[in-house]
Amino acid sequence: MSNKPGIPKGTRDFDSIQLYKRNYIIEIIKDSFFRFGFNPIETPSFERSSTLLGKYGDEGDRLIFKILKSGDFLKGLDKDEIINNNSSKIGSKISDKALRYDLTVPFARYVVQNQNNITLPYKRFQIQPVWRADRPQRGRFREFLQCDADVIGSKSLFQEIEFIQLFDTVFNSLGLRGATIKLNSRKILIGLSEISDCKDKFKDLTIALDKIDKIGMKAVNEELKSKGFSDKSVGIITDLISFSGDFKKSMKLLRMTFENSTTGLEGISDLEFIFSSIENLGLKSCNLSFDLGLARGIDYYTGVIFEVSAPETVTIGSIAGGGRYDNLTERFGLSNMSGIGVSFGLDRIYMVLDELDLFPNVNSNLVKVLFLNFGNKNSLFALEAINKLRDSNVYAELYPDNLSLKKQLSYANKNKIPFVVFIGDDELKAKKFNLKDMNSGSQELLTITQLLNKLS
Amino acid sequence: MSNKPGIPKGTRDFDSIQLYKRNYIIEIIKDSFFRFGFNPIETPSFERSSTLLGKYGDEGDRLIFKILKSGDFLKGLDKDEIINNNSSKIGSKISDKALRYDLTVPFARYVVQNQNNITLPYKRFQIQPVWRADRPQRGRFREFLQCDADVIGSKSLFQEIEFIQLFDTVFNSLGLRGATIKLNSRKILIGLSEISDCKDKFKDLTIALDKIDKIGMKAVNEELKSKGFSDKSVGIITDLISFSGDFKKSMKLLRMTFENSTTGLEGISDLEFIFSSIENLGLKSCNLSFDLGLARGIDYYTGVIFEVSAPETVTIGSIAGGGRYDNLTERFGLSNMSGIGVSFGLDRIYMVLDELDLFPNVNSNLVKVLFLNFGNKNSLFALEAINKLRDSNVYAELYPDNLSLKKQLSYANKNKIPFVVFIGDDELKAKKFNLKDMNSGSQELLTITQLLNKLS
């Protein structure tokens, strides 16, 4: 059977060069997580459907990949039921597990399940793929890696401060200067809904604010007014946006506005503490900026929210984000566990580093020397030397077949192997190695000791 | 909504300690792969169903996890069709992709798809999870990591020799002595079918031989006779098994037996070349042994097959395996590409190292010092020092909340953090750090420079 090969849309193969670059980023993120006291966990790729469904809103539910029950999944299913029901109802009967959609909900599930074995505040990081049945586009895939760090069990704003420093550490280590860490607080957005007597329309506010970049302030204002927001609060929002991140000016206006909103005032003092602390500590590579337009779609955030955008020269949107959530574990039966977490978007960061040419020269092949093959006897002699080289941490290989010299040298060239060794019959007799430097073309006849010294 | 948390059967959460141990093994395997000239690739977690189905036999097809089409998967499906058909037929209509079952078939797909970009012989490694809807039991999971290395595009037996050395290198680096690399060749099994005039019953032979350990030689003999194997060949098989791996004796008997089987004779000379080469090169930690009873179930093998069993004191079965396949890429439209590959079973190796107490003392927390929290002012001063420590590669953290000393010290103890720093108001005024060694209990008052020197 022949079968023209391909992969499902939105997924990717990675070759070695791409993986060296991806791993370069991953190792820096991982190292920074360790440096800040986070330890790793891993959770299964698929969870029970009941763990995931209903946690990300209707749109999220739709985008979750469901796995068919194995075996006879139609068994016990009434035929009438199938005929009279729609896909989503049938889906829940023939599927009982699903691929994870993010790392945060599985983390909440993990915390509740292991609550007797963990020490609070509990800091963990998790670097694993997630899957979403989203429409693929530039920088958006159906399988992608998330790099998350979360702390659960403390309401301290020092967590917010530490995460801002963590963002800065990661992007500084990657050599990326000028990324902006944008900050807002759900409490301020709640305050704005409260003063408009639109407390119940908080969600409409976040949805509208999320669109500023796309449709502009004027259209957002129209939308807000149509939802019932007062002219006064729409005016304040317009002013705040026009301050474009001037922190002090924004807080001043908000403090006047929030006279009667405890939540709003809390949001202000949270942000003021964070901003003054970071001002005092200093950042290495990133800027910190208040952004009222930052809303972040995900339902579970309750306090400070973050988003990091790439330097302005790169138009790619956010490269990291996160925020504080207060009730995530409640859904699994454990209340009063405030948490906060951030997520780094590997694919976006990769695109930024690529565009700004910030990847170091990563070696795509670690093999230093190829032994050419001139028949079995010579090759066995070569393998003895190869073993000794490998033991001395020189990565070496034997060309497996006794083919033309041209073919063998072309293999070394294509794989960028810097040295080759010839062992002809004369060399074999003399127990010597003819080493050729593929760049300079120079050749030397060496003993095994000389060869080891030369290549180590 | 409350929801008692749990994970799907056959899957696992991993905590930090388990991950440190798993990563210890993975890093050694990965390093050995690099040392032998393999470079990494990664493929998507799910493939088109057409890529996977039909490659692992009926049993394999049944064990593949299928993913429901997203959106309205019943759309366009005739209701009568559903009622009149069984799960397996409907399955192929409502699902078009599936989780990968191993790494070899996706690798074959990758090679064919990228044939114009790769240099032959092409060596790759791949360390990724695979999924099987198998019945979970000790050491067998529904999600597990495979660590594979393959070479494609060369028939040279030096590949077989290199893989034997690779097994030896990995297990030697893990400190595991006395594992046995068992070797057989499908060509010898084919030879045995040929001399019985049972060429068409080659599969029955492998199925029967696979059962020797479970049901014993006598029952296997009965089974072979019932399938039509001659008394003569059953006798030879019994003799060979009774030689229990004596290589020279086995080859001598086989050479007489295979007078009329070209394939059988080929199998003998393959094994003789491999055994004499390895004898010459030597192994560091493993034994090499011929095992006629080794059959390996997977359909695609055509030449030498390998299996590594743990030292006899551990009863756990095989910890690695592999073999040569000649026609794997043919199914995707590319013929004449002989390949050979091996796979390390991470979970089994983990259990062996655990049982033999071979894991090094892995640190479960890299944080060296916890700064206690005595209020915001003191903590902000602490954060400045923490930044300096982190920049000097000393992993440090601040306890986020101003709670009782007891609670804070208990966090340090439970997380095995060796040092804590107190910054009371006196220390803050003097800009000094009170460092306590949690093991000895001793305390010293230090300047920032002294603190850096002490902990670096």
Is A375 part of any domain? Answer: yes
Give me the mean pLDDT over the A146-167 stretch: 97
Identify the band that residue B235 occupies on the pLDDT scale cut at 50, 70 and 90.
confident
What integer best gives the mean pLDDT of chain B? 91
Q: A7-29 burial, b for 16+ CB within 10 Å, e for fewer?
A: bbebbeebbbebbbbbebbbebb
**Per mean pLDDT, which range of A7-11, A156-160, B193-197, B392-396 is the poorest?**
B193-197
Percentage of chain B surpassing pLDDT 90?
70
Residue of A252, A250, A247, A208 lying closest to A227 (CA atoms):
A208
Which chain A residue shows the shortest CA-CA distance from B377? A277
pLDDT tens sequence across B105-156: 999 999 999 999 999 999 999 999 999 999 998 888 999 999 999 999 999 9
Name the DSSP class of B339. E
- Nearest CB among B19, B332, B411 relative to A119 is that of B411
Q: How is residue A204 written in tokens? A: 């409409």
| A8, A161, A383: residue with CB nearest B47 | A8
pLDDT category of residue A84 using cuts at 50, 70 and 90: low
In a domain? residue A105: yes
Predicted confidence at residue A228, as pLDDT, reads 85
Name A287's bridge partners.
Answer: A180
Residue A391 to residue B165: CA distance in whole angstroms: 12
pLDDT, chain A, mean = 91
What is the Cα–Cα distance from A435 to B239, expressed in whole angstroms?
Answer: 50
Specify the pLDDT at position B233. Answer: 81
Average pLDDT value for residue range A230-244: 84
How do residues B292-311 score in pLDDT, each as one tens digit?
A: 888 876 678 899 999 999 99
- What residues of chain A lie within 8 A of the CB of B383, using their CB? 158, 161-162, 165, 277, 281
CA distance A51 to A100: 9
Q: Would you say the C-alpha torsion B365, B369, B375, B377 has a positive or negative sign?
A: negative
* pLDDT given for residue B183 in this prediction: 96
Q: Do the Cβ atoms of B35 and A390 come within 8 Å?
A: yes
Instruction: Return residues 184-243 of A near B (CB < 8 Å).
Output: none
- Between CA A196 and CA B406 the distance in angstroms is 46
Sign of CA dihedral B281, B282, B286, B287: positive
d(CA A97, CA B91): 16
Are A154 and B401 a contacting pair at CB < 8 A? yes
Does residue A1 have a pLDDT over 50?
Answer: no
Cα–Cα distances (Å) from A273 to A305, B134, B439, in that order, read: 15, 54, 36
Nearest CA in chain A to B96: A8
B54 contacts A121? CB cut-off 8 A? no
Helix residue ranges per DSSP H, B65-216? 79-84, 87-94, 104-113, 158-173, 186-195, 202-209, 212-215
User: A251 vs chain B: nearest CA distance in angstroms?
Assistant: 21
Contact at CB, A67 and B68, closer than 8 angstroms: yes
The whole-angstrom distance between B166's CA and the closest CA on chain A is 10
Give the SS3 label for residue A323. strand
Q: What is the mean pLDDT of residues B393-400?
A: 96
Over the stretch B17-50, which tens digit does the pLDDT of each residue have? 999 999 999 999 999 999 999 999 999 999 999 9
Whether residue A440 sits in one domain with residue A377: yes
- Whether residue A77 is predicted with pLDDT greater than 90 in this model: the reply is no
Same domain, A211 and A287: yes
Is B408 part of the contact surface with chain A (CB cutoff 8 Å)?
A: no
Burial letters B418-429, b for 16+ CB under 10 A, else e: bbbbbbeeebbe
Instruction: Please tell me the distance from the alpha carbon of residue A316 to that of residue A345, in angstroms, as a whole number.
Output: 11
B428 touches chain A (CB under 8 A): no
Per-residue pLDDT band at A207 (split at 50, 70, 90) = confident
Interface of B with A in 324-353 (CB under 8 A): 330-333
Judged by a CB distance cut-off of 8 A, whether residue A121 touches chain B is: yes
The reply to whether A313 and A434 lie within a common domain is no
Highest mean pLDDT, choosing among A85-99, A355-369, B91-105, B116-130: B116-130
Residues A247 and A301 in one domain: yes
Boundary (domain end) residue, out of B289, B321, B355: B355
- What's the farthest any 2 CA atoms get from each other in chain B? 95
A281 and B383 in contact by Cβ < 8 A? yes
pLDDT digits (tens, 9 = 90+) for B313-357: 898 889 999 999 998 899 899 998 999 999 999 999 999 999 999
- Contact at CB, A5 and B158, closer than 8 angstroms: no
Q: What pLDDT does residue A305 have?
A: 96
Q: Is residue B66 part of a domain?
A: no
Interface test with B, best of A83, A401, A410, A420 (most B CBs within 10 A): A401
- Under 8 Å CB pairs connecting chains A and B tally to 295
Residue B395, token pair as written in the block: 């992993």
The answer to whether the CB atoms of B5 and A112 lie below 8 A apart is: yes
Mean pLDDT, range A127-149, rounded to an integer:
94
Structural domain for B437, as ranges: 369-455
The Cβ-side half-sphere exposure at A214, using a 13 Å CA radius, reads: 7
Residues B380, A277: C-beta atoms closer than 8 Å: yes
Q: From CA B68, how far away is CA B219, in angstroms rounded?
A: 44
Residue A316 placed within a domain: yes
Q: Do B19 and A3 touch (CB under 8 A)?
A: no
Assess B396–A contact: CB distance below 8 Å, yes or no: yes
The answer to whether residue A2 scores a pLDDT higher than 70 is: no
Residue A144 included in any domain: yes
A393 in Cβ contact with A443 (< 8 Å): no
Peptide bond into B121 cis (omega under 30): yes
* Residues B345 and B388 occupy one common structural domain: no
Cβ–Cβ gap B158/A398 under 8 Å: yes
Q: Answer whether B280 sits within 8 Å of A44, measured CB to CB.
A: no
Decide: A176 and A214 in contact? Cβ < 8 Å.
no
Q: Compare CB distances from A87 to B48, B62, B72 and report the shortest one's residue.
A: B72
pLDDT for res B217: 87
Nearest CA in chain B to A15: B41
B382 and B343 assigned to the same domain: no
Write down which residue in B308, B328, B355 finishes a domain. Answer: B355
pLDDT in the model for residue B363 = 67
pLDDT band at B242 (very low <50, low <70, confident <90, very high): confident
- Mean pLDDT score, A228-254: 86
- Is it the case that residue B3 has pLDDT exceeding 60? no
Greatest pairwise CA separation for chain A in angstroms: 95
Measure CA A392 to chain center: 36
Determine, for residues B68 and A95 on separate chains, whether the beta-carbon distance falls below 8 Å.
yes
Higher-confidence residue of B213 and A14: namely: A14
pTM: 0.94
Domain's final residue, options B300, B325, B355: B355
Cα distance between residue B311 and residue B318, in whole Å: 10
Of A388, A423, A383, nearest in space to B281 by CA:
A383
User: Among B143, B333, B366, whose Cβ lies nearest the Cβ of A34?
Assistant: B366
Average pLDDT over residues A175-194: 93
pLDDT tier, B83 (very low <50, low <70, confident <90, very high otherwise): low
Query: Cα–Cα distance between A437 and A421 in angstroms, integer?
Result: 9
- Burial state string for A210-243 with b = 16 or more CB within 10 A and e = fewer than 16: eebeeeeeeebbebbeeeebeeebbebbeebbeb
pLDDT band at residue B2, thresholds of 50, 70 and 90?
very low
CA distance B289 to B304: 13
- Tell whether A287 and A428 lie within a shared domain: no
Q: Mutual orientation of helices A158-173 and B376-391 as an angle, nearest 10°?
A: 20
CATH code where residue B345 lies: 3.30.930.10
Per-residue model confidence (pLDDT) at position B1: 44
Q: What percentage of residues in chain A have a pLDDT greater than 90?
A: 70
Residues 288-307 of A with CB under 8 A from B: none
Q: Which CATH number goes with the domain that contains A428?
A: 3.40.50.800
Asked whether residue B291 carries a pLDDT value surpassing 70, the answer given is yes
Note whether A13 contacts B124, CB cutoff 8 Å.
no
Q: At which residue do the structure tokens 């090679």 appear?
A: B111
Same-domain pairing of B132 and B32: yes
Burial status of residue A360 (CB atoms within 10 A of its CB: 0-12, 13-18, 19 or more): exposed
d(CA A54, CA B363): 38
- Does one domain contain both B21 and B159? yes
B97 CB within 8 Å of a chain A CB: yes
A178 in a structural domain: yes
pLDDT tens-digit readout, A289-320? 999 888 876 678 899 999 999 998 898 889 99
Does B51 have pLDDT greater than 90?
A: yes
What phi and psi, each to the nearest 5 degrees, are found at residue A181? -90, 110
- Chain A residues with CB under 8 Å of B71 CB are 62, 87, 133
Within a domain: B11: no
Q: CB burial class (10 A; 0-12, 13-18, 19+) of residue B202? A: middle
DSSP 3-state assignment of A74?
Answer: coil
**Whole-number pLDDT of residue A390:** 95
Query: Binning pLDDT at 50, 70 and 90, where does residue A3 land?
Result: low
Q: Quick one: pLDDT at residue A363? A: 67
Quick one: A313 exposed, middle or buried, by C-beta within 10 A (0-12, 13-18, 19+)?
Answer: exposed
Are the Cβ atoms of A395 and B35 closer than 8 angstroms?
A: yes
Separation CA A11–CA B356 (nearest Å): 41
pLDDT in tens, B151-207: 999 999 999 999 999 999 999 999 999 999 999 999 999 998 888 777 778 888 888
Q: How far is CA A441 from CA A158, A373, A437, A452, B340, in A?
A: 59, 19, 5, 19, 33
Handedness of CA B131, B133, B134, B137 (dihedral sign): positive
Confidence of residue B268 (pLDDT cuts 50, 70, 90): very high
pLDDT for residue A231: 86
Q: Do B7 and A37 touch (CB under 8 A)?
A: no
Q: Do B133 and B245 lie in a common domain?
A: yes
CA distance A284 to chain B (A): 11
Same domain, B435 and B316: no
Residue A136 has which token pair?
A: 């693929």
- Flag whether residue B89 sits within 8 Å of chain A, measured between CB atoms: no
Q: Rounded to the nearest 5 degrees, what angle is found at the Cα of A297, between the Cα atoms of A292 and A299?
A: 115
| Whole-number Å distance between alpha carbons of B396 and B400 | 12
Q: What single-letter amino acid sits at B134?
A: D
- Asked if B152 has any chain A CB less than 8 Å from its own CB, the reply is no
Kindly state the average pLDDT of the residues A324-343: 92
Same domain, yes or no: A306 and A343: yes
Q: Is residue B175 within 8 Å of B358, Cβ to Cβ? A: yes
pLDDT digit string (tens) for B400-414?
A: 999 999 999 999 999
Contact B8 A70 (CB under 8 A): no
* Model confidence pLDDT, tens digit, residues A14-64: 999 999 999 999 999 999 999 999 999 999 999 999 999 988 888 888 999
Residue B400 lies in a domain: yes
* pLDDT above 60 (res A212): yes
Chain A hits for B123, Cβ within 8 Å: 397
Please tell me if residue B15 touches chain A, with a CB cutoff of 8 Å.
Answer: yes
- Contact criterion met (CB below 8 Å) for B387 and B358: no
Pairing of strands A433-437, A419-422: antiparallel
Domain count, chain B: 2
**Sign of torsion over alpha carbons B166, B170, B171, B172:** positive
Selecting from A65, A71, A79 the residue whose C-beta is nearest the C-beta of B83 gives A79
| Residue % of chain B over a pLDDT of 70 | 96
| B-contacting residues in A 42-61 (Cβ below 8 Å) | 42-48, 50-51, 54
Q: Which residue has the tokens 């360390």?
A: B127
- Residues of chain B with C-beta less than 8 angstroms from the C-beta of A50: 3
List the single residue in A35, A113, A333 with the smallest CB-CB distance to B395: A35
Residue B373 has a pLDDT of: 97
| Residues in chain B within 8 Å Cβ distance of A56 | none
Give dist(CA B191, CA B353) in Å, integer: 38
Interface test with A, best of B109, B272, B377, B401 (most A CBs within 10 A): B401
Angstroms from A297 CA to nearest CA on chain B: 21
From chain A, the residues in CB contact with B65 under 8 A are 46, 67-68, 70
Using a CB-CB distance cutoff of 8 angstroms, which residues of chain B are in contact with residue A336? Answer: none
How large is the average pLDDT for residues A244-258? 88
d(CA A283, CA A280): 9
Per-residue pLDDT for A403 more than 90? yes
